[in-house]
Amino acid sequence: MKDVLRTERPMWQRWILALATSVLVNEVLRLAAVAAFSVPPTFQPITRPAVIFSTAVGTTGGAMVFSLLRRYVSHPLETFRKVALTVLVVSWIPDVLLLLSPPPQLPQPPTAAVATLMVLHLPPWIASTWFLTGGLLPRRGKR
C-alpha cells in the first residue's frame, strides 16, 4: 500500500512554506546567537547571506529528493523521513570537524558559534519534513 499525503497543496507551495519558515526561524536564531554569544562578525558561516544560502540549498534539495521519491518509491513519506533524518545527522559532521580541526586559514571558532551552526540545521529539517510529508519521524512498523 502506497503512502498517502493528506494535503491539497501542490508540491511547490509546500516547498515555499518550508523555505520561508526555515529562513525566518534561522534568521531569528542567528540574530539571537550572535547577540547572546558575541559571535565575531568575521565568522563567515554565521553571516546572514551564508545562513540564508545554506538554508535555501538544503530546503530546495530536500524538496527535490522528496519529489523523486514520490515518483520512484512505494513508500515515499516514510523513506523521505528516514533520508532526511540521516542527512541531518551527516550534516553535523563538517561542523564538528570545524570545531575539532579548523582549516589553517581560519582562527579557532568559538564553541558557541559552531553549536549555533549545528542548531541552524534543525529548522530546515523540521520544516521540510513537516511541510513535505506531514510528519517528522519515521513511524514504527512502517517501511
Residue 93: CA count within 13 A, CB half-sphere: 6
Q: What does the angle CA 47 – CA 52 – CA 57 come to, to the nearest 5 degrees?
A: 130
pLDDT of residue 9: 82
Check whether 1 has a pLDDT greater than 70.
Answer: no
Integer CA distances (angstroms), 96 to 15, 38, 49, 124, 135, in order: 29, 20, 21, 19, 28
pTM as predicted: 0.86
Domain boundaries, the chain: 11-133
Q: Specify the DSSP element, H or E, that contains 36.
A: helix 11-37
- Tens digit of pLDDT for each residue in 20-72? 999 999 999 999 999 998 887 778 899 999 999 999 999 999 999 999 999 99
pLDDT of residue 73: 95
Percentage of the residues of the chain whose pLDDT score is greater than 70:
90
Please tell me the total number of residues recorded for the chain in this structure. 143
